[in-house]
Amino acid sequence: MTPESDPLSEPRPVVEDTNGIDLWSRFRQSRRCANAIAKFFQFDQHQAKLSTEILAGVTTFVTMAYILVVNPDILSNAIFLQQPKDLFGELVIATGISAALATLVMGLYAKYPFALAPGMGLNAYFTFSVVLGLGIDWRVALAAVLIEGLIFIVLTVTGVRRKIVTGIPECIKQATTTGIGLFIAYIGLNSSGIIAQSQATTTTLGELTQPATLVTIVGILITSALIARRITGALLWGILATALLAWILGIAPWPQGIVALPQWPGDLLGQAFVGLSQVVQTNIWELLSILFVLLFVDLFDTVGTLTGLGVKAGYLNQKGEFAHGSRAFMADAIGTTAGAILGTSTVTTYIESASGLLEGGRTGLTAVVTAILFALSIVFIPFL
């Protein structure tokens, strides 16, 4: 199209709003901005629409927003016993910012509609196995996560990570993901009182008549029903419904507010570097075993999730590989490194990104929208 035939270049009468702003000029600028976004994210190639990508990004965030509560709740168990101070708010900020950074890299660099956040399973391993189980200082545990992230960056840049992935049998990849899910379920059931530890049978049925346990059971039923009905954000709505029930019954205190200006996580930021200085005091074999588990689980979790999402979105080639798989891995590695510095456990790609795909998200703009929402969510700490 020549400049003479471009409808946006043709002269138009000046139309101003009540504030004296030229509406036609504003329209032209918005069109150019939309065209630039479409070109950068290759809308034509993916048959994408701006409105659909935005809706998909919002949907992905809603289905993942539960991590803003669950991750701090799990990690605070590890930190509070060694440093008796309520750091829940700072952990929410660390979770939100690390998720925003990693997802932004995924959207702008890899240009895939996938979102990342501190991983479930890995945060439980960090808390209950490393810190509480082995008695490792939480700063040293963060240092291990930082080292893991740096190792993954090197493996991704050199292409070794891709070779490792292609050499692993599919059954092991699937079994690892299933095992992580069972591990998370066991911790949740134990923490809620549905099951309890037993010297005779290791695990036994808990006191199901306790109010907190009953609320948990009701919450599980509500969430399961929402998931079965395929309600968008089923996990988040289930958590909110359970929390509301706990507030009404007096089992949990009502929130002190809704929004507030976030305070930078000063007690968490950079503690991974403090942990690095303490690594020499840690048993080398324990440290190596921790690193191995973090690397192993993160690798398989990321591969399994990306493969599943890639199949659903049609991104895989005939060999079952991503066209820009190394970029997606790099987003994961950068997210883990940044997350450790901010004070949270390993960051990984979330299978909940599939909800955005179901809404039609096909480009990195979906991830960018999700990242922006994660960044904005940290102002709701009083409500959480």
Position 356 scores a pLDDT of: 87
Find the range with the poorest average confidence among 33-47, 167-181, 289-303: 167-181
Average pLDDT over residues 38-67: 87
Of the candidates 225, 199, 198, 236, which has an alpha carbon nearest to the alpha carbon of residue 355? 236
Residue 228, both tokens? 């079965």
Coil, strand, or helix at residue 145?
helix
Of the candidates 341, 319, 15, which has an alpha carbon nearest to the alpha carbon of residue 147? 341
pLDDT of 170 > 60? The answer is: yes
Q: Using CA atoms, how far apart are residues 126 and 297, in angstroms rounded to an integer? A: 12
Average pLDDT over residues 244-260: 82
Q: How confident is the model at residue 85 (pLDDT cuts 50, 70, 90)?
A: low
The model's pTM = 0.79
Position 35 scores a pLDDT of: 83
Q: Is 104 exposed, middle or buried (0-12, 13-18, 19+ CB in 10 A)?
A: buried
Coil, strand, or helix at residue 379?
helix
Q: Using CA atoms, how far apart are residues 145 and 338, in angstroms rounded to an integer? A: 10
Position 248 scores a pLDDT of: 92
Angle of the 50-64 helix axis to the 234-248 helix axis, nearest 10 = 40
Coil, strand, or helix at residue 34?
helix
**Phi/psi of residue 32, nearest 5 degrees:** -65, -40
Calculate the CA 160 to chain-centre distance: 25
Q: Using CA atoms, how far apart are residues 16 and 382, in angstroms rounded to an integer? A: 42
Q: Using CA atoms, how far apart are residues 355 and 252, in angstroms rounded to an integer? A: 31
Average pLDDT over residues 90-96: 92
DSSP string across 200-261: TTEEEE--TTSHHHHHHHHHHHHHHHHHHTT-TTHHHHHHHHHHHHHHHTTSSPPPS-S--P
CB contact set of 62 (below 8 Å; sequence gap of 6+): 232, 233, 236, 355
Break the chain into its structural domains and give their ranges.
Answer: 51-380
Position 27 scores a pLDDT of: 63
Residue 9, both tokens? 């270049």
pLDDT of 80 > 60? The answer is: yes
Coil, strand, or helix at residue 308?
helix
What are the distances in angstroms from CA 135 to CA 82, 141, 163?
A: 10, 10, 35
Find the range with the poorest average confidence among 24-28, 76-80, 190-194, 363-367: 24-28
What are the distances in angstroms from CA 1 to CA 9, 247, 258, 271?
A: 11, 62, 51, 56
For the chain, percent of residues with pLDDT exceeding 90: 34
In sequence order, the β-bridge partners of residue 196 are: 204
**Phi/psi of residue 349, nearest 5 degrees:** -75, 140
DSSP alpha helix (H) spans, 21-135: 23-40, 43-46, 50-64, 67-82, 88-105, 122-124
**Which H or E run includes 116?**
strand 116-118
